[in-house]
Amino acid sequence: MADTPALETPVWLITGCSTGFGRILAQRVLARGWRVVVTARDAAQVIDIVATADERAMPAALDVTQYDQIDAVVAAAQERFGRIDVLVNNAGYGYQSAIEEGVEAEIRAQFDTNVFGLFAMTRAVLPLMRAQGGGHILNITSVAGLVGYPGSGYYAASKHAVEGWSDSLRAEVEPLGIGVTCVEPGPFRTDWAGRSLRQTASRIPDYADTAAKRLAATKDISGTQAGDPVRASDIMIEITQQATPPRHVVLGAWGQDAVVTRLRQRLAEIEGQRERALSADFPNP
């Protein structure tokens, strides 16, 4: 391994590998012969992923809300592999409720993982990427990071936060050779709805046809989603090999159509308010 140029066998660090995209992505990266730091809150849940990867895979216990663990994992990765070429901020989960019925503790826990943990993880890896002169950060957000739906207000807020933050991050690190891409999946056939989704049931009748209806529909989609997580993982890998990686990658036909429709509507609405916008400035002398 020491005789192989580093960029021919890039080092990935993926958070949240026990299930879903993180697990499949780790397997697909290892299948290419590359090196991966495979993390999960319980490292025992990823032992099977690294079992046949020899020295190319390093399992690690990582809860992104525990910042001492973040520092320890990044230090261990640097000691083991000498670099981190791709950081995949995948750890996260969904929380659904009507806005009015959201539970404060659930909302804060959502942000601790989906937002503040992702921020801390990135801050820990950036010094290494700067020192090595490049890298790529993949933030797994969601269609909900670009479109808000009833019942998903707090989840959408967490993903919108990452999207806006990623714009600023890209502006700061792109000149340093570090790419930043947000991956926005629609419905994919993972166990997200079964294992990575929390809900606070809606009991207010006024929300029966909005938030409550969507909460029920989300729970019923497992196993029927059109999105293929293996194909999606391969797309993520391809993105990191591009000289100029995209800022956004929406995955799945449903998500692509939803995002394009919403952004066109938003642009038309903003452009329709142009005269009002200009009238807010001091008049020209």
pLDDT value for 187: 76
Look at residue 102 and tell me whether its pLDDT is greater than 50. yes
| Other CB atoms within 10 A of residue 27 CB | 19
Percentage of residues in the chain with pLDDT exceeding 70? 93
Distance (Å, whole) CA 231 – CA 236: 9
Cα–Cα distance measured from residue 151 to residue 156, given in angstroms and rounded to the nearest whole number? 9
- Which residue, 137, 32, 153, is CA-closest to 86? 137
User: What is d(CA 226, CA 187) in angstroms, rounded to the nearest whole number?
Assistant: 7
Provide the pLDDT for residue 4. Answer: 36
User: Which of 95, 154, 155, 207 is labelled catalytic?
Assistant: 155
In this predicted structure, the answer to whether residue 145 has a pLDDT above a threshold of 60 is yes
Of residues 196, 186, 179, 192, the one with CA closest to residue 246: 179
Which pTM was predicted?
A: 0.92
**pLDDT tens digits for range 117-137:** 999 999 999 999 999 999 999
List Cα–Cα distances, 280 to 80, 98, 109, 273, in angstroms: 57, 34, 39, 11
Tens digits of residue pLDDT in 33-52: 999 999 999 999 999 999 98
155 is catalytic: yes
Interval 245-265 mean pLDDT: 96
| pLDDT over threshold 50, residue 2 | no
Sorted by where each starts, the structural domains of the chain and their CATH numbers stand as 6-278 (3.40.50.720)
- pLDDT at 226 exceeding the cut of 80: no
Per-residue pLDDT, averaged over 250-275, amounts to: 96
